[in-house]
Chain A
Amino acid sequence: MNRTLEKLTILSDAAKYDASCSSSGSKRANHNKGLGNSDGMGICHSYTEDGRCVSLLKILFTNHCIYDCAYCVSRRSNDVRRVAFTVEEVVDLTINFYRRNYIEGLFLSSGIFKSADYTMERLVRVAKTLRQQHSFNGYIHLKAIPGASPELLHEAGLYSDRLSVNIEIPSETSLKKVAPEKNYPDIITPMNYLSDEKDRYQDDKKHLRKTPLFLPAGQSTQLIVGASPESDLQILHLADGLYKQQRLKRVYYSGYVPIATDNRVPLLKAPPLVRENRVYQADWLLRFYRFSVDEIVSEAHPNLDLEVDPKVSYALRNPEKFPVDINKADYEMILRVPGIGVKSAMKIVKSRVHQRLNLDHLQRMGVALKRARFFITCPGSQHQHKDYETSRLRQMILSSESAVRQSPQLSLFG
């Protein structure tokens, strides 16, 4: 017990810098009267005191590592205590935490010990044991270890719901500087392989009655923000490409937490949390608000505005597109109004079929009028914005939002 407690302490501490927490998007229903069910939405069973969701038992299999990546606590040259779980220990913790409704499943990552295949084989064995010996239908997220053989990756895809390879550093030049043993091809190759395999199974589905589940929740990755000099433009273009070409389900962004003094990475006083938040907002605009990268950042404005969110920033740079007529504009344009989210936009287009909407209606539906009112027309709204210069409008928005900006970190639903 004490031994397990010590391992859990060290190996969860070392895994916590991985921002991924999602447990949604799988299709693994409990058909075998076994343990667990993963066909619904994800559930956050708790939240840490830094406000992040605890959905999965997120641990490293081991923190032994042959690599020396400057941004990582487990790097070879760092003087930390090294331990490793056994397959049985990880399985036992997962099952017993799951049965008590502490978690949705397991997120298993690892330092690289001996070789990529040696490590990958351990991770696969944990997933296989859970699925086959314990009829476990909970959520399993494994790390795909760069350089692991296609056979092992394929097996991993059969037993897990999601696999991820973390890119971490958003350009290859910077990656070379901080992680000399890593390169982009080693990271992208397994991503492409898994994406192709998933497609192959999808095709089989058209001809075969029953095909095995293969990565039902797809792939994700993580980019570290602020450990290297890339602009938000570079970061968002990379993410956009990963969504389109590798068809990733999620790209996570992690504001670099200065974890140790290593002169290859900058010594920051605090993690760049506001920038991280802005990048997430931009990512949301790409995935749910039908924006393209070029509309959010450009060569002229390569970095996101830290003072206002990217949607306000877009509206201020494109005054000719506003105000938007709430009772007539397309759904797409209503989505672009600062202060109107996906749910409010849906409510607006569904309700206006029945009656003309005024400002009161919008307020009651939950539209954030303190931002939206500058960019819309409807009965009850004043067209004051037409009289304002962009810079003055910006000031007005900033002053009406000052309460929000004073909070140490913007609320974030990752």
Chain B
Amino acid sequence: MSLYLYDGSFDGLLTAIFECFADRRQPTDILNQETYQASLLEDLRPIQTDIAKAERVIKGIDARSDGRGGELVYQLFLSELTGIELRIYRLVELLVRQNDPNILENYANPDVLYSAQVSKMISREVHRMHAFVRFQKAANNIYYAVISPDFNVIPLIGDHFQRRYADQRWVIFDTRRHYGLYYDLTHTSFIDVESDILSGATDAFVNASLDGLEDQYQQLWKQYFQSVTIQERRNIKLHLCHVPRRYWKYLVEKQVGRDGLLSRKN
């Protein structure tokens, strides 16, 4: 048994992979110390995160994959799937062993196929966030949205929203992972629950509901959504396939009452 224990960060995982290669050992598993359940019987190797080593691993991956591997490995990491660390290790090992960038296109290889499938799941979740984020404008002129995505996609969606909403300040907050993004008209940065931008939000929403404009646009949108449905073609099964129920809580048009996003339970 050789268990590597890392701190849960992406750099930590890359450091662990670096150490596996340095030790010339096949890891039995690479585990996140945050979620790891201690057991006396196991041979544990705790890893100290080392940015320099992590960078060497990423460079090595990119060099052997025409620059495609680094991004892929990061996507896999953000999936937070059980056992993803060992899958990533195996993919890195494959790239090192084959030294052929096109090996990432051999879908007959189970590790390559699995990576492609997870990568597709992540891309789909990113795309859904692009689609299903709904902003509410508060009295402080900041547009707020809350999400709780299946995967940890916050680091992957900032660019899209920054390009699109370059002239408005906005916040997207992941209530499941307790962090989010704030764009201040110049930069997008990560924020956590302690951020002033969030603590000011409640007052700002009370004030916004006083002038009623936010509510009006939500009503108009709901009405629009109702009107464009062709009753003769109603097909709820297809509807649910495109908009699974777990995303409804984001969507203004799927809410019956008049309550705002922030007062809604996740």
Q: Find chain B residues with CB under 8 A from A185 CB.
A: none
Nearest 8 CB-CB pairings of A with B: A51-B238, A50-B233, A354-B106, A350-B105, A47-B242, A48-B229, A12-B227, A361-B108
A36-B164, A37-B164, A97-B220 given; 19 more Cβ-contact pairs under 8 Å: A12-B228, A13-B228, A16-B229, A44-B131, A47-B242, A48-B239, A49-B239, A50-B238, A51-B233, A58-B228, A99-B137, A100-B217, A270-B232, A354-B105, A354-B109, A361-B108, A364-B113, A365-B113, A411-B241
Q: Is the interface of A mostly helix, strand, loop or mixed?
A: loop
Partner pick for B106 among A9, A43, A351, CB 8 A cutoff: A351
User: Which residues of A from 39 to 93 have beta carbons under 8 Å from B?
Assistant: 40, 43-54, 57-58, 93
Q: A50-B239, A101-B135 are in contact. Are A12 and B217 (CB under 8 A)?
A: no
Chain B 236-261 per-residue mask, 1 if CB under 8 angstroms from chain A, else 0 = 11110111000000011100000000
26 contacts between A and B (CB under 8 A): A8-B227, A33-B167, A35-B167, A47-B239, A48-B230, A49-B229, A49-B235, A49-B239, A50-B233, A51-B237, A51-B242, A52-B230, A57-B224, A99-B135, A100-B135, A101-B134, A257-B233, A258-B232, A270-B232, A350-B107, A353-B102, A353-B105, A364-B113, A365-B107, A408-B237, A411-B241
| Contacting pair A351 B168 (CB below 8 A) | no
User: Which residues of B from 178 to 235 have beta carbons under 8 Å from A?
Assistant: 216-217, 219-221, 223-225, 227-235
Q: Find chain A residues with CB under 8 A from B108 CB.
A: 351-352, 354-355, 357, 361, 365
Q: Find chain A residues with CB under 8 A from B216 CB.
A: 1
Measured in the bound complex, the distance between the Cα atoms of B109 and A350 in whole Å is 12
Q: Output the nearest chain B residue to A408 by Cβ-Cβ distance.
A: B235
Q: Find chain A residues with CB under 8 A from B136 CB.
A: 100
Q: Find chain B residues with CB under 8 A from A35 CB.
A: 164-168
Minimum CB–CB distance from B125 to chain A (whole Å) comes to 14
| Contacting pair B225 A361 (CB below 8 A) | no
Minimum CB–CB distance from B244 to chain A (whole Å) comes to 11
Q: Find chain B residues with CB under 8 A from A354 CB.
A: 102-103, 105-106, 108-109
The size class of the interface chain A forms with chain B is 35 or more
Binding site for A on B (CB under 8 A): 102-103, 105-110, 113, 127, 130-137, 143, 145, 160, 163-168, 216-217, 219-221, 223-225, 227-239, 241-243, 251-253
Q: Find chain B residues with CB under 8 A from A9 CB.
A: 223, 227
Q: Find chain B residues with CB under 8 A from A4 CB.
A: 220
Q: Output the nearest chain B residue to A58 by Cβ-Cβ distance.
A: B228
Binding site for B on A (CB under 8 A): 1, 4-5, 8-9, 12-13, 15-17, 29-30, 33-37, 40, 43-54, 57-58, 93, 96-97, 99-102, 135, 257-258, 270-271, 273, 347, 350-355, 357, 361, 364-365, 407-409, 411-412
Minimum CB–CB distance from B16 to chain A (whole Å) comes to 28
Partner pick for B223 among A8, A40, A96, A352, CB 8 A cutoff: A8
Measured in the bound complex, the distance between the Cα atoms of B234 and A270 in whole Å is 11
Partner pick for A271 among B106, B217, B229, B232, CB 8 A cutoff: B232
